[in-house]
Structure 1
C-alpha cells in the first residue's frame, strides 16, 4: 500500500512528519525562550512584557500539543526529548535576557524562523494534498505574521 490510512502518499507524509518534528522542536525552543523572558524581564516595560511573554509561552504550549498530535495523526512519532529538541530546533537560544529590546528582538527572530519552517511545511502539505496540516500551518502563519508586525512596531 502506497497510501496512509488517511489516503495520503506515504513518502510525502514521511517528509511532512520530519518537517513537523523540526517545527515541534523549534516551538519547544521558542516556548522555553519565552518562559525565560517572562521570568527575567526587567525595566520600565516589565508589566507589559511580563504579561505578553506569558501569553506567548501559553500559546506555544498549545501549538506544541497540536503539532505533536498532527504528527501522530499522520502515523509518525513526535520528538519528545530535550536532546532531540536541541539538536533539531532552528530558533535562536535566548539566555539570561532581561533587556526589553533584546527580548522583543529574540521573539521576532524566533517567530521569523518558525515562519520559514511553517511555509516549507505548507508547500509540502499542499503537494501531499494534506488539508489538515495545510490548514494548521495557514492558521499559525497568519497569527505569527501579525505578532511579528506588532513586535516590530513596538521596537519602533
Structure 2
C-alpha cells in the first residue's frame, strides 16, 4: 500500500476523489437549478422563495468550492467544465420552472440524489480511514436532511 502526503492509501483516495468529482458535478447542476428557480419564480410566494433560493444557491456555491478543494487535497483534479458536469450529473435538470411547488419539489428531488451519492462516499471514506472526507459528507448529509424535511413541510408532505 502506498500512502499519499496526508497518510491515506493512494488507490483508495483516487477512488474517493472520483466519487467526489461526481458529487461536484451534481452540486454544480443543483446550483444552476437554484439560480434558475431564483430568477424565474413567480406568484404569491415570490418574495419568500426568491430570498430562500438565493440563500440555498449561495450555500451550494460554497459547497462546490469545498468539494473541489477536498479533491485537490486528495491529490486529484476537480472537474471544471460544463461538459464534464453534464456527463456525470444525476440530479434532475430544472428548466423554466416558475411555479412555487414545482421549484420546491425540484430542490427535494435534487437533494435526495445528492444524499445518495454522499452516503456512498461516506462509506468509502470510512473504509479508507479518510476522516476529512467522512466529516465533510456527515456535515452535508445532516444539513441536507434538514433541508429536505423543511421543503417537504412547505409542500405539506412528510418525509
Question: How far does the alpha carbon of each residue in 1:38-70 deviate from its partner, in whole angstroms, 9 at most, with x for none?
Answer: 000000100010000001100000000000000
Once the two structures are superposed, the pairs formed by residues 74-89 of structure 1 within 5 Å of their partners are 74-89=74-89
Return the TM-score normalized by structure 1: 0.99
Matched residue, 1:95: 95
1:10 offset after TM fit, Å?
1.0
Matched residue, 2:28: 28
1:2 offset after TM fit, Å?
1.0
Return the TM-score normalized by structure 2: 0.97
**Structure 1 gaps, min length 5:** none
**Structure 2 gaps, min length 5:** none
Once the two structures are superposed, the pairs formed by residues 121-136 of structure 1 within 5 Å of their partners are 121-136=121-136
> Structure 1 runs of 4+ off > 4 angstroms?
none
Question: How far does the alpha carbon of each residue in 1:6-55 deviate from its partner, in whole angstroms, 9 at most, with x for none?
Answer: 11111110110000000000000000000000000000100010000001
* 1:45 is aligned to 2:45: yes
Would you say how many aligned residue pairs link Structure 1 and Structure 2?
Answer: 156
* 1:70 is aligned to 2:70: yes
1:117 offset after TM fit, Å?
0.5
